Amino acid sequence: MSTIHLPLLVEAEQLEPLLNQPGLLVVDLCNIDTYAEGHIPGAVNLGYANIIRVAPPAMGLLPDEVRLSAVISGLGLTPETHVVAYDDEGGGRASRFLWTLDALGHAHFSLLNGGLQAWIAGGHTLSQQAEQPIARPYPAHLGDRVVANKAYILSRLGQPDLVLLDTRTPGEYQGLDVRAARGGHIPGAVNMNWILAMDQTRQLRFKSEDQLRSLLENLGVTPDKEIIVYCQTHHRSAHTYLVLKVLGYPKVRGYPGAWSEWGNDGSLPVER
């Protein structure tokens, strides 16, 4: 059982007093140059490429368990570790990492609201000291509770208790901005550009709960349904996954193949 107790969405003011506590690991998903310039004290850097698998044309797949075991073990995690992740680009990379931990059944994690920008804006301390974590064995076992693949989506298309939530831009959704062999979206999907969940005036923190619920429910994205989120590579949609989890939606999955897989597979149906 973790000795750290933090909410799924954590503010800098909640995190700072706990930085030296055993059982806490802060993971920085910024690029390495940004990390070197200044990061949250004690944070370890994790390159985004380590948590995705590329099999062109699909660009954002889950790595296999052997690869994930090596990456997670190298960070020094144990099953009891409470992970706080952040980045400097609105939370997409950090959310993708936390979704991966969720897929592995890791129970204790949080997203830093507003990421590095919010930390800096709040006047919190930065460090330039690169952290070298002590590796610990962490066997990775992927479950399918929070993961959707194309076969699963095909089996669920058209079901009244399912909502496909496309988090790309309206142009991508409508097939005007084509980033695969075909443009458009998965049949029946509704569109919410991921940036609509961010407060542009507060370092890209999440908008208020009321604002987010209104935005989602107006699209028919309600907690009684199963929600499958996707974008181009499950980077943007991982952020939306965390938004839904923070709001308490009980049945949410991410589709890592996303449009880079679906839009390039001529056997799959497309809507424009």
Active-site residue numbers? Answer: 231
Nearest one of 74, 113, 92 to 30, comparing CA atoms? 92
Classify residue 264 by burial, with Cβ atoms within 10 Å: 0-12, 13-18, 19+. middle
Contacts of residue 235, Cβ cutoff 8 Å, sequence gap at least 6: 60, 92, 93, 96
CA 119 – CA 123 distance, rounded (Å): 7
Backbone angles phi, psi at 25, to 5 degrees: -130, 120
Question: Mapping DSSP to helix (H, G, I), strand (E, B) and coil, where does residue 65 land?
Answer: helix
Nearest one of 18, 12, 46, 49 to 32, comparing CA atoms? 46
User: HSE (CB half, 13 Å, CA atoms) of 4?
Assistant: 27
DSSP 8-state symbol, 1: -
> Nearest-5° angle of CA 256, CA 258, CA 210?
85
CA 144 – CA 149 distance, rounded (Å): 9
